[in-house]
Structure 1
Amino acid sequence: MSRPAAGHDSDGQGGRPAHAPVDVPSARSPTSSHRLPSLLAALCDRLPEDRIVALEYVLEAITDSGDPLLSRFIAAQPASGLAHQLNEITGVWQAEAPDMAGAGLALALATARSFPRPHPAQVVVSGPMGASVTARLTSGVAVDVIRSADTSLLIASFAAHGARDVVTEIARAVGRGVHVDLLLEESTQASAAFAALPHEVRVWHRVETSGVLHAKLIAADRHTAFLGSANLTDRALTDNIELGLVLRDPHIVEPLVDHFHWLLAPENNVMRIA
C-alpha cells in the first residue's frame, strides 16, 4: 500500500494540510469540587422569590464577601438555619471565587432563581430547632403557600385557633379573586377562627359519621401543597413539635387536589357546606 503524498493529510484528502493539535480546556466534570453553584441552587429551593431578590439587592451593593452590609443582612435573618446557610455560602464564595464582586454573585442567584427546574420536597418544622438545620418554619411556610395562590386555595385543618397571619393572608387572597375552600372539623369549632373572612369563603364539614376530618393541608392552585402534622393554631404554627413537607411538583399536587375535590362533590356525600 502506498503512503500519502507529502503535503496531504493523513486521511488521504488531497490539498488539505494537516493542522497541529489545539489546546482546548477540558470540560468540567459533574464531580467538580466547586460547591458555590449547588449552594446557591439550594438557597433558591428554600426561599420564596421575594427573599432571594432582597439578597440580590444586598449583593449588588457590595464588592466582596467581607462587606459589613452582608454580615448585617445575614445576622438579621430570623428563619432557623438561614444565617448558617448564608454564612456557608459566604465562606465558599471567599474560597472559590474571591475576586468575584457581589454583583456577580447576585447575577448567579438571579439565574438560578429564574431557570425552570423541578423543586424538591422541603422539610417544614415547628418547635425547637438547631442553628444549622435548614428546614423552614411552619408559620412562614403556611403564609407563603397561601400567598402563592392565583386562582384557588384548598385548606384543611382538624383544629384552628388564632393564626392571625394565616387568616389575614386568606382574606388578601379572596381580595385578589382566589376561590377559597376551608375543610374543618366541626367538633373542634375550628370555623370560629375564620368568622371574619369574607362570605365568599366556603366552609365545609364532614357529614355525620363515626370518623373525623383530621387532615392538615394548604394547597395553592394545583402547583404547591403544604401538608403535615400542624393544625392552624398558634401553638402548632410556632411552639409545638410539628413536622411537614412542601410539595411543588404538579404531578404530585394535582392528584392530591383532585382527591379533595372528590370529597367535596355533593354526590359523594362526604362533605357538606357549613
Structure 2
Amino acid sequence: MNSHHIIVEAATALASSLPTSTVETVAAAIFSSGTTSLKAAVTKRIPHHQHRDRALSFIDCWQYEAPDLDKSVVAIALQTAALSEQKHRDSQTVELVWTGPDDGDIPFRRTEQAILQLLDSAQERITLVSFAVYSIPNIAKALVKAAQRGVKLTVIVETPDKLGGENEYSTLRALGAQVEACSSVYYWPKEKRKLSEKNKPGILHVKCAVADGEWLFLSSANLTQQAFTINMELGTLVRGGSMPKRVEQQFTRLISSGTFARLPSDGVS
C-alpha cells in the first residue's frame, strides 16, 4: 500500500468516527497552519478530548507515512471523506440497540431509549408490531402523545386477547385504554395462518416499529417491561434509506390484503 492510499484510508476512518463539523475543523486547521503549529491549532480548536486525540493521530499518520504530501492535498482528502460520510449518514444510519449486561466497553443504545426516540420523532404515522405486550407505561405514554399531535397509529398484535397459557399478556389491556382508543388495532386471525405438521398455527413473532417510513426499530424484544430491563435483547434502530419504507409497505399490504383483521374499538371486554 503506497503512502497516498494510507492517507486516503486514514481520512476515511477519521470521517467515519467523528462529526462532520469536527473533520472540517481539522481540514481548516491543516489549510491555515504550518507544520510546527498544526497540532497546537487542532488542540485549540477541538475541545472534545477523544475527538482531539483521533485528529492528532491522523496528523501523526500523515507526518510519518507521507510527509512529502502537500497539506492542501491532505485537507482536500479530509473534506472529501467528510462529505462522503455525511451523505451516507443522511441516507441511512444504523445503531445497535441492546438490553442486558453492560460492560461499558461498547456503547450500545438501550432498547427502550431507541423505541422512544422513534415514537417521539413521528410526525404522521406509526406502525407498531409485537408478539407480546405487557406493562409498558413509557411506551403507552409516548403513543398517546403521538396521537395527540396528529400521528396515525397502527398497532398489530399476535392476538387481541391472551397468549395461550400466559394470562398476564392480555395485549390490548397492556396497551391501555387510551392507546386502544386512538389506534387502529389489527391481529392475525388463526384461520389465516398456515399449520405445521403437528397442526399448530404459525405465530406473529415480529417485534418492530416504523415511523413515517423514515425510522425503523427492529428487535428481539417484545413490548414488555422485562424485555426493556432484565432480558438480553439485541436489535437495530435505522433512520433513512429504503428499509423503513419497505417494512412499512409490507404491513400496509398485509392489512390491505386481509391477512390482518381489524379489531373493533370495543374488541376487549
Name the CA distance, whole Å, in 2 between partners of 1:174 and 1:253.
20
Q: Give the counterpart letter for 1:260 in structure 2.
A: F
Residues 262, 129 of structure 1: CA spacing in aligned structure 2 closer, same or farther, 3 A cutoff? same
Residues 30, 232 of structure 1: CA spacing in aligned structure 2 closer, same or farther, 3 A cutoff? same
The answer to whether residue 50 in structure 2 is matched with residue 88 in structure 1 is yes
Residues 189, 34 of structure 1: CA spacing in aligned structure 2 closer, same or farther, 3 A cutoff? closer
Deviation at 1:172, TM superposition (A): 0.9
Instruction: Indicate the structure whose relative CO is greater, using CA pairs within 8 Å and at least 6 residues apart.
Output: 2
Between Structure 1 and Structure 2, which shows a larger proportion of strand residues? 2
- The aligned residue for residue 189 of structure 2 is 207
**Larger radius of gyration between Structure 1 and Structure 2:** 1
Name the CA distance, whole Å, in 2 between partners of 1:146 and 1:268.
26
Identity %: 22
Are 2:126 and 2:154, in contact at CA under 8 Å, matched by a contact in 1? yes
Q: Give the counterpart letter for 1:272 in structure 2.
A: R
Once the two structures are superposed, the pairs formed by residues 1-274 of structure 1 within 5 Å of their partners are: 29-32=7-10, 36-41=14-19, 88-92=50-54, 117-186=90-159, 187=162, 188-198=169-179, 199-209=181-191, 210-265=201-256, 267-273=257-263, 274=267
Per-residue CA deviations over 1:53-87 (Å, capped at 9, x if unaligned) read xxxxxxxxxx776x8xx7xxxxxxxxxxxxxxxx6
Residues 159, 247 of structure 1: CA spacing in aligned structure 2 closer, same or farther, 3 A cutoff? same
- The aligned residue for residue 70 of structure 2 is none
Per-residue CA deviations over 1:219-261 (Å, capped at 9, x if unaligned) read 0011111112100111101221011112224422222111101
Deviation at 1:194, TM superposition (A): 1.5
* Aligned partner of residue 212 in structure 1, secondary structure: coil
Unaligned runs of 5+ in 1: 1-25, 45-62, 71-86, 98-107
More off after superposition, 159-168 vs 169-178: 159-168
Name the CA distance, whole Å, in 1 between partners of 2:12 and 2:236.
29
Name the CA distance, whole Å, in 2 between partners of 1:43 and 1:235.
39
Per-residue CA deviations over 1:134-186 (Å, capped at 9, x if unaligned) read 32110100100111111000001111122221111111110110000111122
Name the CA distance, whole Å, in 2 between partners of 1:34 and 1:250.
21
- The aligned residue for residue 7 of structure 1 is none
Between Structure 1 and Structure 2, which shows a larger proportion of helix residues? 2
Deviation at 1:29, TM superposition (A): 4.5
Unaligned runs of 5+ in 2: 23-43, 60-78, 163-168, 192-200
Residues 41, 119 of structure 1: CA spacing in aligned structure 2 closer, same or farther, 3 A cutoff? farther
Are 1:156 and 1:216, in contact at CA under 8 Å, matched by a contact in 2? yes
Residues 112, 160 of structure 1: CA spacing in aligned structure 2 closer, same or farther, 3 A cutoff? farther
**Aligned pair count?**
202
The list of structure 1 runs, each at least 4 consecutive aligned residues, that deviate by more than 4 angstroms after superposition, is 33-36, 93-97, 111-116
Are 1:41 and 1:112, in contact at CA under 8 Å, matched by a contact in 2? no
Name the CA distance, whole Å, in 1 between partners of 2:86 and 2:93.
16
- Normalising to structure 1: TM-score of the pair? 0.62
- Normalising to structure 2: TM-score of the pair? 0.63
More off after superposition, 233-242 vs 194-203: 194-203
More off after superposition, 178-187 vs 32-41: 32-41
Name the CA distance, whole Å, in 1 between partners of 2:12 and 2:189.
57
Q: Give the counterpart letter for 1:128 in structure 2.
A: P
Per-residue CA deviations over 1:112-147 (Å, capped at 9, x if unaligned) read 998663224221111112212132110100100111
